Structure formats: C-alpha cells, structure tokens
Structure 1
Amino acid sequence: MAESRERSAKLNSLKEPVLKKLCDVLDRTPGKGWRRLGEIVAGERRFKVGPDDMEMCSLKVLQPDGSPSHMLLRLMGERGCTCGHLMDYLHVLGNTEALHCLKAPALQIIIQPQSVSLLCGHNLRLSCHAVGQSPVQYQWFKSKEEVPKGSSPELTISGIHVKDGGFYICRVNCGDSFQFSQWAQVDVLNVSTSCGQNWQSLDGRLKVAVQPCPQQLLVGATLQLECGVVGRPIPHYQWHRDGAPVPDATRRKLTIPNATQDHQGRYRCEIISGGERTWTNEVEVVIAPRTLVQISGAMECSEDDVYAIGGGSTDFLLNRIPEQLYATDKVALLIGNLAYQNHPQLKAPMVDVYDLTNVLRQLDFKVVSLLDLTESEMRNAVHQFLQLLHKGVYGLLYYAGHGYENYGNSFMVPVDAPNPYCSANCLCVQSILKLMQEKETGLNVFLLDMCRKRNFHDDSAHNVILRVTANIVFGYATCQDAEAFELSSSSFTNGVFVKFLKKRLLEDEKITVVLDRVAEDMGQFDATRGKQALEIRSSLSERRSLTDPMLPGAPDRLHSQQWAKAHELPDCMYLDFECGTQIKLGFAAEFSNVLVMYTHIVRKPLDFLRCEAHVTDFPQELDVEPKEMNKSIPEDTGIYLLSGSLPQHCLYTRLCSLQKLKDELVFTVCLRGTTAAMDPDDSVYWSESVNIGKPLIARLDLHEVMRPDSCLLTCPVPHSANPEIYEPEEVGACGSSIPIEASDDIHELQTAFINSLQLQHP
C-alpha cells in the first residue's frame, strides 16, 4: 500500500477525509463504482457480501446525505476487510481514480499550528509538521510578511511583545508541491494594563489573566475595557452591562467611541474556553457630563479638566483624572545566592529569582537574573546595573541569600565569602543605594531578602549618608536584628517574602501600597508570625507604580539594549551529518547565567536502530559535570523550573555560571548510531564543532578582574587582599536556620513548621 498506510490496516481505520473522497468517486462512477465493487467482493465470498447487503446499500440513495459506497465499505470493514484487500479489488475494478484516493499525497501537513493566547513576556511556540516524498521546507509568515529566521517546523519567539500578536501561517514546500497551513491567531495579553490580575491555578481551571479596570470618563470620550485569559484555544468573549449582553461585544477588548451617559453602568465579561466558563470582575463605568465649574465665583475651569457632579454653583472639583506617570526605561537586576562555598546551602533564592523574573518581564522590565555570584562578579554586575540608571528610569534591584546588618548598614554575602565573613568580603547595601539616588531616576526599588542579624566578627562602623530624594523605596524581607526564613523541604518553592510578593507585584497600585499589602499578607501567615515581618522605607512622593507605561519615544540607550540581550537565547540550529541524520540543537534560558541545551533527532537513516546526539567538550571554566549531561529526564540534570516547558524526547544539558565564560562558547555535538547490520554493542560516531558566541550574561564580561571603581562603589572600606582570618565559632541563625517548608496548603504543614522553628531557634 502507499507509504503512509499499512496494507494490513483495517478498512474502518480510514480517516474521514480519505473515506469521503473515495465514496464520492465510487458513487458517481457508472460501471466502475460501488455496485461493481460489491459484485467482485461477493464473487470471492471472503467477506460474505450478499444480495441483501447490496439492496441495503442501494436504499441509501433515498436519504439526503446517503452513500451506497459508504455503507458497502462499512460492511466490508466490519467483516475484516483491510486496506490492502480494497486496493486489490480496485485494481480488478480498474478504477484508478479510486486507487489514487488511497495513495499518500506528495505533501501532507500532519500537525497544524494552533491559535493561542499568552502573556506578554512569555515564549511563543507554534508548530507545523509535514511529511512528503522528498525533503520538506518551511517558511512562516505573519500576515503577508515573512518571519525572520522562520524556516523551521517550530516557530519560537522568546519574550513575546504585544506587537508580535496577529495571524501566523506556514508555507510548506516539497519539490514542486506546496501547501499552506491553517491560520493561527496569537493574542498577547499586556497585564500591565490590568486590574487585579490572577491567572495562576493549582487545579488547572480557567483563570482570568487580565481583568477590566473601572472607568471614569467625560461624555464624548472613548470607553475602553479589556480582559483576557491565556491558553489554547483562544477563548470566546461576551461583554455584559448591568446583567444584559452588550450587542456585538464579542472581543477581548470592548471599545465604545463617543460614549454617552447611556453607556455607564456595571460591566463584566463572560469567557468560554475549552468547555469551561468563567466571568471577569464586575467594574463600574461612570460617564459624567461636560460642565463648566465655577470656583469661588471668580474663575472658570475648562470642562476637559474637571467633572462637575450636579453642576450649577458647585465649588469643588471632584474626580479629577490623575496625571499619567511614565518610565523612560525599566531595568532590573535579580541576584540569588544559594551554592555557598563556606556557609549553609540555600534553596529558595533560585525559585524566588525565577518567579520574580517572569513577573517583572510582564511589566516590561529588562531583567537580568543571576545565580551564585562571587564577590567580584557581584560588584561587576551591580556596576553594570548602575550604568543603566538615568533620569526617569525605573530601576529594581533584588537580592536573596545570606546577609547581615551592623550599625544600620546592611551587607550582601557573595558565595565565595570566607567563614566568618566581614564587610571587606561583602557588598554594602547603603553604598549602592546612595549611588542609585544620585541617578535622578523616576523610581528606585531595592528589595533585600536576607537576614539582618548582627555580625559579631565585623566591628567596622560605616557612615554612609543618604541624600534626601523623592524616588526611593527600600524593602527588607525582615526587621532589624531578625531573620529572613527560607522555607525548606525536599522540593523547591518560594521563601516567605516572595511567596506573597509575586501575588501582588502586578497590581496597578503605588509600589508602597503593594508592599504594604504584602506586609499584611505576611502578617497573616501563622508559621512565621512574630518571627519575620516586612519593613518598608520610602521617600516616594508620587504615585509611582511598577505598572506605569513606558514613555512613548523614550531614548533607546545602547547600554540598556545590551542589558536586555543578556537574556536573549541563541537561535535553534539544525545540524546535518554525512550519514543522513539531522539533529535539532535547541536552547532555553533558566536564568541569565544558566543555559539549557537539548538535542533532538529530526531525521535518521532507515537502517539505524539507535541514534543519539550528545553535547560535550565545554570550556573548563564552566565546570560541567559529565555525569549530569545529556540526560533524557530534565530533572536529572538539575533542570527543575523549566522541565514542564521543554520539548519532549530530547537529551538535556544544563550549563551554569555563564558569567565565568571568557571566550565564545565552543563545544562538540557527537552523534552515535547503531545500524541493523552491526552488533548491538557497537556504534559509529560522527562529531561536529559548534560555536554559539557569547550566550546570555556572558556578553557582559562579568568574569573580568574586579574593577577598582565598582569595588569602591559597593564597599566603603579598603578591600583587603588578605583579610584577617578568625577562628570559626558557632554560626548565627542567619547562616544555619532553615525551617521546614510550607506548601500552598498552609494548614496542612503549619504545626510541623512551627515546631521546627522552635527547635532550631531556642
């Protein structure tokens, strides 16, 4: 039979499009149609097609959509007829057109791209796979424009933006034949415009990602409401006002130009996706008349500037629309230290940094997320970050790891700090904060998720004087002389601070209001109540929010773009070996200094029984453990956070500490194959050298020797090449206390958690 179908396949296994086309041919071909086919089958008596069966088939013509051929083929299939038997009968029948229906086409798309709705900042993946009688080529289009580098079966866009939304289609070529896939709509949700977002779901049920916001408008203005959910397929929407459906309001965005007072009311949207139904929050829309307002009988304000509720002699301005605040740029540096060389290991910083990275990218921040930095690497990273801060920029710096506080100054501890450590080995928070203040930024947010216990090995007293500014928000995960607890268990989850912070950070509120709510949430957490409380310091005089939009036409600074590229992935590669095997080499970024590689066999020779592609020969500074490379299960390589989003049936390798990479990343892809003619224990090998340049954070050269200026900027005391060595004493609570982790079900583990705290903190 044809290549795409075994002769032994049951006749009833024919796909509906093929069956319909075959029946159409047999129904309309006199002399070579279904009746003659039935006679041939009855003559062999193999499948027992008798006169009664033929009469039953002929009666089908009396039905509007009836098909005698369909009935005959169904009877033959029920009695054991295979596709191979049918082809033999059609040969005898001499119906070449019917035979052609069973043959595989020269080109067939077997996987169509599916429409999807996803959040801004997430990764888009569209798939289109085809089979043909010769090599297949692909080209993706967005509307009528070719997608750059869109010549593979999978179209991947990392960190998708709103502008990437639209309709996509793939053209598939095979020799002289070509086909277009079905259209796939990509809807990108901008959560920075949302109110009260909540899309995380533990039970997999439908959750609203973008909630509509209340509106206060003047008559004649444009009413705009927006909502959305993520997933496949794209959901159906129906807006309602005061409980009744709004006519023709079946899109995610509801826009009513020239709104009147008849349009005010309470709005919400019904969303249906995959058989599930949910509703957005109900929001109130107030549309006030345009009226001149007299103030003290002496001055009139423009009707565009105020709302006059009631009109006449009103002496007050009500519901004034606040001025929109903008950021000229948004940059963030997130550092999580957990693999300490001389101090207790931590777990939560990895998950905390990962989750905050995803949230901040949804707010249009250019984020660099780094794990396990040495002292010089931390200083160089902070130095690079400080260079990005200019007038109007929103800057956010987050640190999770060991730390301490002496005489009002806080210190972040690098992973290579000696035991015990002192200020000469650490980064002074107040020194960094002082430099952030001097940049005239629109907003500075510094979040410290570390202990603030006294370090008795450090007697130095620093005097860092901070200027009076109006743009600083300083958040400690715990109070002075207290511990920041890491929730510890066999799994990886957040620390106490980020557990609640990530649920609030997208709220369209002043950042201090958001942190106040986080503090209240932490105060309700029984497991650490009285042991850890958020402390907030702020000199913010404006309603600055992390959700504030970017200023249109803001300067595109080259250094800022380089910072953003420190999390851009290398392009996927297809390697062709002389044996005829094609390998896909793909990449994913777990952090800005942690790269995940995976290899997948796209095509292999028919005589290969086994075929595997390994990556090897990495630079020594990456210190990759060979036993943890090229694993078929991502978790076996230490890939826990990305495992659910990686493609299946691959071999995975995790490369850490990319900041140590001095030169371009060159490695070897080794192909091992075993043919049917070989002994099962023997293999044939091919190899190819691959150069992917400097991926991710390696582009910033943080490995360089500690820059003198960055050292002085982050540490107010002379840096000693040979710091005094103290005899080790008992490590304080900030270095060793790691309570049992609480799951999302707080009540289930609350008792064990509190008992652990009592045992470890006498």
Structure 2
Amino acid sequence: MAKIDEDMSLDHIPPAIYKELVNELNKNSNWQVLAYHVAEELEYQWNSWLQSLEQNISTTKTPADNLLFELNVKMCTVGILCTLLRDCELGSVLSVLHHPEPSIIVKHPSDGMECKSLKIPFGQHLYLSCKATGIPPPSYQWCHNNIELQGQQSHELDIIINSCNQAGEYNCKISQVTKDGKAVNSVLLTKSVFVDISHIPVVIQQQPSTFLEIKEGEDFTIKCIAQGHPKPCYQWFRDNTRLEGETSNVLHMDLPREKASAKIALIIANDDYENHKCLETPKNDAAKISNLLKEIGFKVICLVNLSLEQMRNAMKVFSEVLTEGVYGLFYYAGHGFKMQESYMLAIDAPASYLRKDAICESELLAMLLQNDPTLLVAILDMCQTVPPK
C-alpha cells in the first residue's frame, strides 16, 4: 500500500517525499533504469530520450527531476509510478512511496536442481543465485557452513573452488533494513545447497628429511605436508612399526637423555711465571670455579703453576678418564697468546717464546676428545696477546 494517494499526480507529491524520491532516483543512476523501462513501454528511442533528460540540468534540477516532470506530463500517478518502480526492481526508490512489505523468497539456490548437492572439481566456479522481493528491498548475505562469506552480499554467489575447506553447506540470509539501519521483519533463510569437491588424489608437497643427524639424547621434529580431497590422514612409523597417537603431519620425538656416568673437571691455574709478569687472579678464579662445579656434582682436580711438561702430563691423564658417558670440563687461567688459534703458556715459558713453547687449543681438544666423552667444555681464561717478535 502506498503511503500517499495512489491517484495523486506527481506534481502534488508532498515536498519532503518528492525530495527523497529525487535523491533515491539519482543514486546509482536509478533514474536511468526507470527511464529505459519507460522508453521501452512507450516505444521511445532510448538514446534520444536519455539525452533529453540530461539537458538543462543544474544544482537544483537533476535528471531525476526532468524524468518525473516528463512522467507527470504523461499523466503518471503515484500508483502508476509504484508499478513502474516495482517492474524495474527499484525497491529502494519504491520504499519512499510505499509502506514496508515483508520479504518473500521467490527463488531458492536449489530451485531447478534434481538434488540439493553439487559435485565441483578444483579450479571450477560455484555459481548459485536466489531472489526475494519486499519493501525495503531485501539484503543478501551468503553463508558457508553457517559462517558469513565476506564480500558476498549479492543475490548471486560466484566463487572459485580452490580449497578442500570450501566443501559443505551453502545458503543465503535475506533481511530488510531501513535507511536508518533498523531491521524490518525477521531474517529469512533460503534452502541449502550442499557442495562436494570431486576426489583429488593425495599429493605430497613436502617430504620429511631423508637424513637427520642428531646427538644422543637430543629431541627432534620432522614434518610432511600433503594435499588432497578428502583431507589426507597421517600416520607415522618407526622401523615399519606404527607410532601410536602420532597422526598429525608433525612428529616430535623426545628421546630419553642418558645421564652422565661421571662428571670430572681439570683446573689449571698459572700465576707464578719465571720469565713473565706474575698474575694475581688465577688462583682465586680457579677456587671459585672449583666450588661451583662441586655444587653440581663434579669431581674436581685443581693444579697450580705447572710447567709445560706437567701441563701435558695432566691433560693426558685427564683424557684417559674422559670416556663415553662422562661429562668433562677443562678450565685454564693464566698467560696466553693468539696466533691463528689460542695458546696456553706454562710457568717455565721463555721470555721470547714460540708456538712450540705453549699448548694450543687444537692440541688440547685432540687429547681430551680421543675417547669420545659425552660432553666436554673447555674454558680458556687468559689474554689473547700477540707474541713478541
């Protein structure tokens, strides 16, 4: 039912309603849609009719004003204009003149389908459409598995199937909202269409590492990625034996850590040099390190002011106990120098020394690692000076 007398001529429409009518016609070129429909009904030439309506326009006179003037001249009434607007499906314009009418779904997405399901291959379009009538004009919101699809607010849904997750139920919510944002009547829901994606063979996109080197007791993580439809299932195996519960694409293994069979530390502190400046801190530093190591279960051998031969002998004896399962720690405090690698000076080092007069870090490590201890830490607490020429 019209808000005003349907027999009223257009020039007698109340000014407020007339102004709103003109504004709605000018939106989105709605006046062109109406003008084209009128031209077809009256068998006018469309182009010339449109051009005449666009002439003599100004800030106060728009094409919509010209169109309503022409319709008024042709004895168009409010009732006839409502019929024309309904035929053109210009619901937003019609709502200016007409009282609200509840939405009616006139076409469901499943109409014309033999069954309510579709099977669509990857990369193909899914096209669905629905139709509803009402005043104000219905708004559409497509949903997938009851979740609103962003940007899909047309009466048509056209998307490309590129993911297995797109399978499922599709339908459309239909609502009516006034210009001030108030909902009119209840939300309608179309009949659903169920989409199934054609079977896609499993393709492994990422293989787990074919070779992984880890130390005994270390954790490790490996993964693989596969695509297909239905969604691939995973099951990890070790030596052809199923690993229970490992059914994701990521495998994390916490391997048991072997406890140290022994913890032994060798500390050498040189400060009383025969041919070099004596040092003040090595003994104190050695004592502090020794106490800390004892607190965490280390057996500590602490030696002070050793000659070159004594240092080598101590390292040799120390290396013999550094076997598999043993945690070892070597700490040296004293004079040293740097020539490509670090060198430790014994207390009997000559004033003008050469590399043969010291023990380098590679010699140290070669001795201490020869029996493959589980852990070895070497700390050289010394200067890194360049030897005199």
Q: TM-score, normalised by structure 2?
A: 0.36
Larger Rg: 2
Of structures 1 and 2, the one scoring higher in RCO (CA 8 A, sep 6+) is 2
**Between structures 1 and 2, the one with greater strand share:** 2
TM-score (norm 1): 0.19
